[in-house]
Amino acid sequence: MAPLTNQLEQIQGLQRSSILRVYNIYRILLSFLFLFLFLDIFNVAFREFVGNVNPDLFRTTVICYIIVNALIGITTILVSAETLSKTAPSFIILIGDIVALTLLMSASGGVSSGLGNFIIFTLAFGGGLIAGRVSTVLPAIAFILTIYDEFYLFFLDQNDTQSFFQAGLLGIVYFVTNILFQTLSQQLRARQTEVFTLEQVNQLIIDRMRTGVVVIDGAEHPRMINNAAERLLQLSQGGDAHSPVEKLPVALLSRVEDWRSDPHESVANFSLYETGPEIIASFSELRTPSPQADTLIFLEDATEVQRQAQQLKLASLGRLSATIAHEIRNPLGAISHAAQLLGESTHLDSGDQRLAEIIQNHSIRMNDVIENVLQMSRRKSAEPRELKLEVWIPTFIDEFTAGQRDEVHIETVFIEAAITVYVDPLHLSQVLGNLCQNGLRYSKKKTGEARLRLTIGMDKVTEGPFLEVVDFGEGVDEEAVANLFEPFYTTETMGTGLGLYLSRELCEANDAHLSYSRAPSGGGNFRISFRESESQQGAILSNRE
């Protein structure tokens, strides 16, 4: 709470310094006004109450007042706002004004001249500039000097006893004006404190939100952005909401333009780059006095939404798998067994045996689909831990190649050494095994040789580790890429369409992301973008600091 209090005091100090500068302009103009009135520039009638009792005193006081005001005006420009915000400079200037105005009033015949009304404005400024009991000293000094001046003029036979009554009323006005402006000033400060506290609380809440919040103006310049939005948009500049970055990613701005052209589409998905995680953006218009309304953007990590959907999906799969196990698998087993026995019969011709073989093959395929569905429903929650890829990858390759019938060649390329990821090793082994199996099959289909390349490194954009599985096959057709990770979608006649879907689900369960792109060699390139390990996150943060 102390930093907020200090910040509020600094703001209020700057406001007091600004008020003091404005008041100094008023003082300079007032002093020149008295000089012009004294010199009969406007009307000779002013000489009847301006300096009519003691012209020399009036002239000397005005000239000195102008000089002092000019010096103070220059000082307020050169001196810092922090110095001007203190009570002492304002208090000294206000007392000097009261003394100067009292001398001018004395030289003009006392309270009857009407110059005492200008002291009221000085005391009003004093009530706003100086808080507390110190401010009440100002009307007391003004009242004492006014009474003393009336006694002095009374002994000079320049006024009568009625002037004392006027001086008393003027003194009451002095106190009332000062106390009134003190009260108003205190209420304004209290209101400002309340508003400032609420603003800081709101800002703190926005900064701590897991949902990204961005406000942009009509020219698409960011006016506010919280920490979650900076993280989702991977902005390198670490400013707070009051000091936002200068430019937002093009991918987000293009979605803003689409929404402005069609406001009914208030939700859009986008990625910062081809292999990056998906971000959900929702747009809303903020009504402001400016000609172009500001735009409020909420950003959410699609991974979180997908994780919640995945939990519902697993619950549904659990109920579905129970039905499959009891209602489908048992009849399917009977069909498969009957087809096997039928195929072993010696009374069938070649055509009938081929039909029995087709029944057997499709029964096996359907059983594979059931096994994959049951595997997804029975899958345990991820138990991630730190894995050193330069140690784990060679072990995986040895275990994977040991179970292969044909000779395989798997090349490993470590762009950076000592890369550690945070993932469940069993899940990673299952995903990588599926990707390698597919890659070897497609490479052999095109080149006749079962080979692929594993590339491990750090992404320059996200600063996170990645693992790429690159094959040397034909690659995936462009029209098939959009549905590549959909369940039961396959381009193979004997495929189940659940391998890549299950692989992506396993990656999402470990806060990783599986994506596809075409490799420079023309084959497929599947990239696993990992979440940084705890040690890597600490190292990145320390480097940024």
CATH classification at residue 436: 3.30.565.10
Is 168 in the same domain as 225? no
Task: For the chain, report the end-to-end CA distance as a whole number of angstroms.
Answer: 25
Whether residues 122 and 251 share a domain: the answer is no
Same domain, 328 and 199: no
Mark whether 317 and 402 lie in a shared domain: no
Phi first, then psi, for residue 130 (nearest 5°) are -115, 125
> φ and ψ at 176, to 5 degrees?
-60, -45
Helical ranges in 41-136 per DSSP H: 55-78, 81-84, 87-107, 116-129
Please report the pLDDT score of residue 274 as a whole number.
65
Residues 389 and 480 in one domain: yes
Tell me the residue range of the domain where 366 lies.
Answer: 306-378
Q: How many domains does the chain have?
A: 4
pTM attached to this predicted model: 0.47
Answer yes or no: do 413 and 485 share one domain. Answer: yes
162 vs 167: CA distance, rounded Å: 9
Boundary (domain end) residue, out of 172, 203, 234: 203
For residues 212 and 222, is the Cβ–Cβ distance under 8 A? no
For residue 488 the two structure tokens come to 């039961």
pLDDT at 241: 44
Torsional sign, CA 25, 26, 27, 30: positive
Determine how β-strand 278-286 pairs with β-strand 212-216: unpaired
CA distance 142 to 140: 5
CB within 8 Å of 433: residues ≥ 6 apart: 396, 400
Identify whether residues 22 and 107 lie together within a single domain: yes
CA 401 – CA 403 distance, rounded (Å): 5
Answer with the one of 153, 179, 203 that is the final residue of a domain: 203
Mode of pairing for the β-strands spanning 465-471 and 450-458: antiparallel
- How many residues are present in the chain? 545
* pLDDT value, residue 296: 86
Question: What is the per-residue pLDDT for 455?
Answer: 92
460 and 420 in one domain?
A: yes
* CA distance to 153, 164, 171, 176, per residue, from 150 (Å): 5, 7, 12, 21
Q: How far apart are CA 201 and CA 208, in angstroms?
A: 11
Residues 129, 42: Cα–Cα separation, whole Å: 33
Give the pLDDT of residue 278. 78
**What confidence score (pLDDT) does residue 527 get?**
92
Q: How far apart are CA 437 and CA 454, in angstroms?
A: 13
φ, ψ for residue 53 (rounded to 5)? -85, -45
In this structure, what is the dihedral angle of CA atoms 285, 287, 288, 291, given to the nearest 10 degrees? 80
d(CA 196, CA 174): 32
Residue given tokens 């402006």 in the structure block:
181
Assess whether 396 and 512 both reside in one domain: yes
Q: Where are the beta strands (DSSP E) in 339-464?
A: 385-388, 408-414, 420-423, 450-458
Q: Sign of the C-alpha dihedral, residues 149, 153, 158, 159?
A: positive
CB 176 within 8 A of CB 118: no
> Does residue 272 sit in the same domain as residue 321?
no
Question: At 242, which CATH number?
Answer: 3.30.450.20
What H or E segment, with its residue span, contains residue 367?
Answer: helix 350-378
* Sequence-separated (6 or more) residues with CB below 8 Å from residue 147: 164, 167, 171
Give which of 123, 166, 118, 168 is closest to 143, Cα–Cα. Answer: 168
Query: Which candidate, 49, 27, 28, places its Cα nearest to that of 37?
Result: 49
448/506 same-domain check: yes
Where is the domain boundary, 302, 318, 334? 302
Distances from the Cα of 10 to the Cαs of 4, 27, 43, 238, in angstroms? 10, 25, 47, 24
How high is the pLDDT of residue 237? Answer: 47
Kindly give the pairing relationship between strand 408-414 and strand 450-458. parallel
Phi, psi values for residue 172, rounded to 5°: -60, -40
- Residue listed under structure tokens 């006016």: 223
Classify 237 as helix, strand or coil.
coil
pLDDT of residue 468: 92
Q: Are residues 370 and 427 in the same domain?
A: no
**Widest distance between CA atoms in the chain:** 150
* 528 contacts 431 by C-beta, under 8 angstroms: yes
Both tokens of 473, joined, read 């096959």
Q: In this structure, are residues 408 and 451 in contact, taking their beta carbons and an 8 Å threshold?
A: yes
Q: What is the pLDDT of residue 469?
A: 92
Q: What is the distance between the alpha carbons of residues 81 and 9, in angstroms, rounded to a whole number? A: 13
Tokens of 323: 């039905």
Q: Judge contact between 523 and 544, C-beta under 8 A.
A: no
> For 338-419, where are the E strands, in sequence order?
385-388, 408-414
φ, ψ (nearest 5 deg) of residue 202? -60, -40
HSE, side-chain direction, 13 A CA sphere, residue 19: 22
pLDDT of residue 544: 41
Sheet with 222-225, strands from edge to edge, namely 222-225, 212-216, 294-301, 278-286, 267-271
Q: Would you give per-residue pLDDT tens digits along the chain (545 residues)?
A: 445 555 656 666 667 777 777 888 888 888 888 887 777 644 555 555 677 778 888 888 888 988 988 888 888 777 766 666 677 778 888 888 889 888 888 888 888 888 888 888 888 888 877 877 788 888 899 889 888 888 888 888 777 778 888 888 888 988 898 888 888 888 887 787 777 778 778 778 887 888 888 888 877 788 888 888 888 887 754 444 444 556 788 888 888 888 888 888 788 888 777 666 778 888 888 776 555 678 888 888 776 666 666 667 666 766 666 666 667 777 888 888 888 888 777 777 877 878 888 888 778 767 776 776 666 566 666 788 888 889 899 988 888 887 677 788 889 998 887 888 888 888 888 889 889 988 888 888 888 888 899 999 988 777 789 999 999 888 888 778 877 877 766 766 656 667 788 888 888 888 888 888 888 878 889 999 887 655 544 444 444 44
Say how far apart CA 403 and CA 491 lie, in whole Å: 25
* 3-state DSSP assignment of residue 508: helix
d(CA 502, CA 486): 9
